[in-house]
Structure 1
Amino acid sequence: MVRMSAEERRESVIRAAMIEFARGGYKGTSTESIAKRVGVSQPYLFRLFPGKEAIFLAAAQRCCERTTEVFRAASDGLEGEAALHAMGTAYQALIADDPDVLLMQMQMYVAVASAEAGGDREFGETLRACWMEMYDTARLALGADVSDTTHFLAYGMLINVLVSMGFQPDHRVWAGF
Structure 2
Amino acid sequence: MVRMSAEERRESVIRAAISEFAHGGYHGTSTETIARRVGVSQPYLFRLFPGKQAIFLAAATRCLSETRRVLEEARTDADPHMSMAAAYKDLIKDRDMLLMQMQVYVAVAAMEDEFGAEIRKVWEDWWDSMHLLLGTDTHETTFFMSYGMLINTLVSLGFPSSHRVWADFAP
Contact 1:138 1:149 in 2 (8 A): yes
2:77 equivalent in structure 1: 78
Cα offset for 1:51? 0.2
Which residue, out of 162, 172, 175, partners 2:167?
A: 175
Deviation, 1:32, is: 0.5
Hey, what does 2:152 align to over in structure 1? 160
In structure 1, the partner of 2:27 is 27
Q: Deviations over 1:116-150 (max 9, x none)?
A: 2xxx1x52010011112221121111114211111
Unaligned stretches of 5+ residues in structure 1: none
Write out the 4+ residue segments of structure 1 that deviate beyond 6 Å after TM superposition: none
Aligned residue-pair number: 169
What TM-score do you get using the length of structure 2 for normalisation? 0.96
Equivalent position of 1:55 in the other structure: 55
Please point out which of 111, 116, 121 is paired with 1:115: 111
Cα deviation, 1:67-113, whole Å, max 9, x if unaligned, reads 110111011x526xx001111000000011x1111101100010001
Structure 2 spans left out of the alignment, 5+ residues:
none
Alignment check: 8 A CA contact 1:71 1:137 kept: no
- The two structures have a TM-score, normalised by structure 1, of 0.92
> Alignment partner for residue 92 of structure 2, among 95, 106, 119?
95
- Tell me if structure 2 keeps the 8 A contact 1:12–1:38: yes
Whether the aligned pair in 2 keeps the contact of 1:78 and 1:141 (CA below 8 Å) is no
Question: In the alignment, which residue of structure 2 is the partner of 1:4?
Answer: 4
Q: How many percent of aligned residue pairs carry the same amino acid?
A: 64
Amino acid at match of 2:128: D
Equivalent pair of 1:26/1:107 in contact (CA under 8 Å): yes
Name the stretch that deviates more: 37-46 or 135-144.
135-144
Q: Residue 78 of structure 1 aligns to which amino acid in structure 2?
A: D
Q: Can you list the C-alpha shifts for 1:24-44, whole angstroms capped at 9, x where unaligned?
A: 000000001100110000000
